[in-house]
Structure 1
Amino acid sequence: MAQAQSQEPTSAPSYDALAEVLENEQSRQQLISQLRSLAKQQTPAVTESATENTASTEASIPSQLAETTSEIAGGLSDQFTNLVEVTGNLFTGDLAEDNAGFNSANFMNAAINLGMVILATVVLFWLLRRLASPLFTRLSYWSRHGAGKTQVLRLVACVVLATAVDVLAVGLAYVGGNLVATFMVGETGELTTQASLFLNAFMVIELLKAGLRVLFSSRYDGLRLLPINATEAAYWNRWLALLIGLVGYGIMVLEPLINLNISSTLGQGVNTLMMFAAYIYALTVILKNRTRLRHAIRVKAESSTIAAGQFSLILLSRTWHLIALAYFTVVLVLTLLSPAEALPFVLYATLKTLGIVVIAILLSSLLSQTIGRRITLSDELRRKLPLLEPRLNSYIPAALRFLRVLIVSMAILLIFNAWYIVDLNAWYESEAGGKLMSKIIGVAIILAVAALAWVVLASLIEHKLNPETGSGQPSARAQTLLLLFRNAVAIALATLTIMIALSEIGINIGPLIAGAGVLGLAIGFGAQKLVQDIITGVFIQIENAMNTGDVVTLAGITGTAEKLSIRSVGIRDLSGTYHIIPFSSVDTVSNYMREFAFHVGEYRVAYRESIDEAIVQLQNAFDELAASEDNKHEILAPLEVAGVISLADSSVIIRVRIKTTPGMQWAVGRAYNRLVKLHFDSAGIEIPFPHSTVYFGVGKEGQAPSANVRLMEQDFDINGHPGGHAKSGEKVLPANRKTPVSNDAPNDDD
């Protein structure tokens, strides 16, 4: 103990000697080098001790939290006691034990010199900003109203250029302040410690404020990255700039000056008071704007078109104040625990967080303005592939949603990594992280290839279906087969994509394939009718038995085939009824729309008419029909006259046939029947209609007796009704007997 006491005075450094060393530039540099070498030598020991304590530290988190809380409370109590004591000593002038070198005159002189440096630097910076103001105005105008590039790209370019000018102004002001401090204030050629502290703080704080102006530019709307109005930008820019200035200048200037000139204890206490003041100020602003900002975020959420983004914004609107309070609380705690290490970490993590958020917003805006707008193809490509443009535009919303979710997820992970909540580098370098990333990339490539394949195949099918390209108007069979092929390709491509993606993820698809086979076999046994429908439908399509738009007769139903699927056909009959007929119930397909058709007409003439004259009139009617504008293009051959096909009971039947285009036989037949009636009427040819014969009986000699017809002696009025009076000498028949019945009526029966 005596030896230790004897060595203590010699080992204790002299304050005068230390001051002389610090005043000499060469001695100061040597001291700094020696201290750094000693720090390097102590690093392994510190690391070993930290490693030894890792297990115990991680073993009990609650106890560690309790110990940390106790340390903070004890440290605050000690700081408050020391602060009160030092403040009392300051007013009583008793600071000999704390800082023997304090001199009030020197302190005032240093304060005046520092004030001159501050004034010169701030004025120079203000002048440089004023000179750059016209440039900022032009950049803002071009960013908002310029032509050429995408608006987001213009915004980024203008913000980068304006930030470069802003940083240049900060640098020039810093250089100017150094020149003033070196050659105009204090001893010429020397930069005082106070001036150096302020200038370094000025450089850091103004660069941070320049970053704030990038986000919350209040005077130049075209140089603001965040999508908020000028009023909101001015408010938050002013609040954050004040907070940065308070904390920055307090920690980087005020505290070191107090430590050097007055007392380190007082400086530490002032630092703690400033952190608490900044914390209370931040809490006040957050709670004051809680409702207003929540409403603004809610409005932004309502305008979002993505469900995930809308949900995230609504959640943020309800919890943003909690996140902000937690952030400032963590900053305060870290600062109280380890101010030398916590502040750089918090500053760096905060800057990284802001950068990640800004980049994510810019990427989202860039995607919306580049691929978010409607894709417009050229007229030639739109003519060849009419459905390609709508298909691509239908994919854009889904692609944007996926990319935005990916951007948000990556931003959250990077923010967690910036605050050391997760370690992305270690996770990615691990085996599990590498495998997961490779699987995600593989699945993304599979989905992209499948989407590209579907677009190409669907576009080729549309090219074949388009009458303006390929080989012209496709046939109905080609249209039906191509549409069925497109559906089959879609199903097969979707199935293969799902199977390959599951296999890439690591799921064994062997049991799935086996299960699908067993299920297919069970379905085959249990749904034989369905299988029969599908097989029959396939062969009907292959044999081109019918196509959409054909008039057919199936299962006793005649109508137009409106919809063909792989297992059934939809037919609408003449009355408008829609029938769905499974192919398994189809034995015969009668198609009226193949190559050509015939109108078969059978026309009756009376026995007393000339057959040759009737055939001439039929030909005349056909000639007139073939010369009409409405029907001449539908008739494919001259009139075919089959002749007399039957001698019926009351007429002679003549058959003719007209060859027409498929589907027009009914319209041509209706027009021809009209003309036949007109020509027969003009030629006086009778078209028989049903006759009635009154039979009075026949005697054994084969002659019928004459009919006993008498006129009743009864008065009738002029209309033939009983009870009237006829004219003198005029016999009037009853109204229901226009002519007398005679046995000479022709014996014609229909």
Structure 2
Amino acid sequence: MIWPILAQAGQSASASASPSATPLVEGDVVEAATNSVQCVDANPVCVWVHQTTGSALLANWVGTFLPGLIQVIIILFVTWILTRIAHRLIVALFERVIQTRINPFDKRSHGAEQSLLSDGAKRKRARTLGHVVGSAFSVGAWAVAIITSLAHLGFNIAPLLASAGIAGVALGFGAQNLVKDYLTGLFLIVEGQYAVGDWILLDEAEGEVESITLRVTRLRDTDGTVWFIPNGQITRVANQSKQWSKALVDLPLSPTVPYTRVEEIVNSASERFADDERWKPMLSGTPEFSGVVRVDRFGPVYRVMITTQPGQQWKIKRMYLVELKRAFDAAGITMTLDPKTTAVESESPSAD
């Protein structure tokens, strides 16, 4: 459709310029009717188009833009191949780093945390990081490719670069919080400060992590309230279910109960509790009797420390208190009624 129209336009221009149109031979210069575009004799494609169509306008257009268009196609094709290869390499690199070391900035994190993360979690973290870094690389590569292509097509890119610089400065000032959220989210994921399923405290919010993105972290607390915290507003993180957890059980008893008797009852109850098949998978050893940790107006307060699997400390504490209650009841010993030391924390997660 476009070829006949351009050919007719070229013939009309040639007819108005001279009574007869002579064929173009090498060494000649063909000028369009507007005298604004020229086809130099060094371009054989221009000569062939003019001889085939008889249109000087079409020949000038092809001779002027075709070389640049071919270069643009090559640039875009190479950029497409390069971004795909780079994305695969980046994902593979992060998978290798995470398989060998959970935190690439901490050479000591080879042990417990590595064993607690499943292969699926490792691959998910590697894909997330690879996607983020790969996307940033792709944006930069395509931006350079587009600007280079415009330059090859004859456009003046200096005003475009100046405008892009001004727009970037304006966007930087207007979206500081958004940029801060994304950068903080990237470091949270890279450093592995917490993961989906962890129980964490973020400043005033506390709950189980339901999702982590580059911009926001979503928590759900014990009463079902969902918290959305922009990552840029996170100043400190307390992870209560990372690598391992510890349950602290305080026992307020009467001062008339001998210390040796308390130790005997607690150790016996701890061995039974550790051998129970219901709780053994949640434990990382036998509960440890620490002795008297303080003395208050009700009498001495004894403490038992229990190392558990991540996030199981609250359930283990509740079940262990039940076992101790039975043991002391069987021995005829009554625990004192200090709500600060006997009550299980109501804000801790509910039992599974």
What SS does structure 1 have at the residue aligned with 2:251? Answer: strand
Structure 1 alignment gaps of length 5 or more: 1-53, 60-416, 691-750
Q: Is the 8 A contact 2:200 2:238 kept in 1?
A: yes
User: Which entry has the higher C-alpha Rg, 1 or 2?
Assistant: 1
Partner of 1:640: 288
Note the alpha carbon deviations across 1:532-551, whole angstroms, 9 max, x for none.
44554455555543334332
Partner of 1:664: 312
Do residues 484 (structure 1) and 129 (structure 2) align? yes
Do residues 623 (structure 1) and 268 (structure 2) align? no
Do residues 442 (structure 1) and 90 (structure 2) align? no
Q: Counterpart of 1:453 in structure 2: which amino acid?
A: I
Seen in structure 2, the aligned counterparts of structure 1 residues 55 and 513 have a Cα distance that, compared at 3 Å, is closer
- Whole-Å separation in 2 of the counterparts to 1:580 and 1:678: 42
Partner of 2:321: 673
- Whole-Å separation in 2 of the counterparts to 1:579 and 1:483: 22
What SS does structure 1 have at the residue aligned with 2:280? Answer: coil
Partner of 1:460: 92
Identity %: 23
Seen in structure 2, the aligned counterparts of structure 1 residues 456 and 481 have a Cα distance that, compared at 3 Å, is closer
Report deviation, 1:466: 10
What SS does structure 2 have at the residue aligned with 1:561? Answer: strand
Q: Counterpart of 2:209 in structure 1: which amino acid?
A: A
Q: Is the 8 A contact 1:601 1:657 kept in 2?
A: yes
Seen in structure 2, the aligned counterparts of structure 1 residues 548 and 489 have a Cα distance that, compared at 3 Å, is same
What SS does structure 1 have at the residue aligned with 2:193? Answer: coil
Partner of 1:590: 238
Do residues 500 (structure 1) and 155 (structure 2) align? no
Report deviation, 1:449: 1.2
The structure 2 residue matched to 1:550, chosen from 177, 198, 211, is 198
Report deviation, 1:599: 0.6
Q: Is the 8 A contact 1:450 1:497 kept in 2?
A: no
Could you say which structure has the higher strand fraction?
Answer: 2
Q: Counterpart of 2:145 in structure 1: which amino acid?
A: I
Partner of 1:563: 211
Q: Is the 8 A contact 1:537 1:566 kept in 2?
A: yes
Report deviation, 1:557: 1.5
1:131-146 map, 5 Å: none
Do residues 604 (structure 1) and 282 (structure 2) align? no
- Whole-Å separation in 2 of the counterparts to 1:662 and 1:450: 42
1:51-66 map, 5 Å: none
What SS does structure 2 have at the residue aligned with 1:636? Answer: coil
Seen in structure 2, the aligned counterparts of structure 1 residues 684 and 576 have a Cα distance that, compared at 3 Å, is same
- Whole-Å separation in 1 of the counterparts to 2:14 and 2:334: 120
Seen in structure 2, the aligned counterparts of structure 1 residues 539 and 521 have a Cα distance that, compared at 3 Å, is same
1:189-204 map, 5 Å: none
Q: Counterpart of 2:245 in structure 1: which amino acid?
A: A
Report deviation, 1:465: 9.6
Q: Is the 8 A contact 1:533 1:584 kept in 2?
A: yes
Q: Is the 8 A contact 2:253 2:299 kept in 1?
A: yes
- Whole-Å separation in 1 of the counterparts to 2:94 and 2:183: 26
The structure 2 residue matched to 1:525, chosen from 173, 185, 191, is 173
Report deviation, 1:504: 1.7
Report deviation, 1:577: 2.1
Structure 2 alignment gaps of length 5 or more: 1-10, 17-48, 100-113, 339-352
Q: Is the 8 A contact 1:650 1:688 kept in 2?
A: yes
Q: Counterpart of 1:687 in structure 2: which amino acid?
A: M
- Whole-Å separation in 2 of the counterparts to 1:560 and 1:491: 30
What SS does structure 1 have at the residue aligned with 2:274? Answer: helix
- Whole-Å separation in 2 of the counterparts to 1:504 and 1:56: 31
Q: Counterpart of 1:496 in structure 2: which amino acid?
A: A
- Whole-Å separation in 2 of the counterparts to 1:626 and 1:542: 36
Report deviation, 1:554: 0.7
1:207-606 map, 5 Å: 430-432=62-64, 434-435=66-67, 437-439=69-71, 441-442=73-74, 445-446=77-78, 448-450=80-82, 452-453=84-85, 456-457=88-89, 460=92, 464=96, 473=118, 480=125, 483-505=128-150, 506=153, 507-541=155-189, 543-606=191-254
Report deviation, 1:584: 3.9
Report deviation, 1:508: 4.7
Q: Is the 8 A contact 1:598 1:659 kept in 2?
A: yes
What SS does structure 2 have at the residue aligned with 1:547? Answer: coil
What SS does structure 2 have at the residue aligned with 1:484? Answer: helix
What SS does structure 2 have at the residue aligned with 1:641? Answer: strand
Seen in structure 2, the aligned counterparts of structure 1 residues 636 and 542 have a Cα distance that, compared at 3 Å, is same
- Whole-Å separation in 1 of the counterparts to 2:98 and 2:68: 45
- Whole-Å separation in 1 of the counterparts to 2:263 and 2:161: 72
Q: Is the 8 A contact 1:561 1:569 kept in 2?
A: yes
Q: Is the 8 A contact 1:606 1:651 kept in 2?
A: yes
Q: Is the 8 A contact 2:91 2:127 kept in 1?
A: no
What SS does structure 1 have at the residue aligned with 2:243? Answer: coil
- Whole-Å separation in 2 of the counterparts to 1:473 and 1:675: 33
Q: Is the 8 A contact 2:71 2:149 kept in 1?
A: yes
- Whole-Å separation in 2 of the counterparts to 1:56 and 1:529: 59
Seen in structure 2, the aligned counterparts of structure 1 residues 572 and 461 have a Cα distance that, compared at 3 Å, is farther
Report deviation, 1:553: 0.7
Report deviation, 1:622: 1.4
Q: Which gives a bigger RCO, structure 1 or 2 (Cα 8 Å, sep 6+)?
A: 2
- Whole-Å separation in 1 of the counterparts to 2:119 and 2:143: 33
What SS does structure 2 have at the residue aligned with 1:575? Answer: coil
Report deviation, 1:656: 1.0
TM-score, L = length of structure 1: 0.32
- Whole-Å separation in 2 of the counterparts to 1:422 and 1:440: 27
Q: Counterpart of 2:84 in structure 1: which amino acid?
A: L
What SS does structure 2 have at the residue aligned with 1:655? Answer: strand
Q: Is the 8 A contact 2:247 2:308 kept in 1?
A: yes
1:170-209 map, 5 Å: none
Q: Is the 8 A contact 1:442 1:504 kept in 2?
A: no
Note the alpha carbon deviations across 1:177-220, whole angstroms, 9 max, x for none.
xxxxxxxxxxxxxxxxxxxxxxxxxxxxxxxxxxxxxxxxxxxx
Report deviation, 1:500: 0.4
Note the alpha carbon deviations across 1:383-433, whole angstroms, 9 max, x for none.
xxxxxxxxxxxxxxxxxxxxxxxxxxxxxxxxxx9xx9999xx86994146
Q: Is the 8 A contact 1:568 1:582 kept in 2?
A: yes
Q: Counterpart of 2:242 in structure 1: which amino acid?
A: R
Could you say which structure has the higher helix fraction?
Answer: 1
Note the alpha carbon deviations across 1:309-348, whole angstroms, 9 max, x for none.
xxxxxxxxxxxxxxxxxxxxxxxxxxxxxxxxxxxxxxxx
What SS does structure 2 have at the residue aligned with 1:435? Answer: helix
Report deviation, 1:590: 1.0
Partner of 2:303: 655
Q: Is the 8 A contact 1:604 1:653 kept in 2?
A: yes
- Whole-Å separation in 2 of the counterparts to 1:512 and 1:564: 37
What SS does structure 2 have at the residue aligned with 1:662? Answer: coil
Note the alpha carbon deviations across 1:163-187, whole angstroms, 9 max, x for none.
xxxxxxxxxxxxxxxxxxxxxxxxx
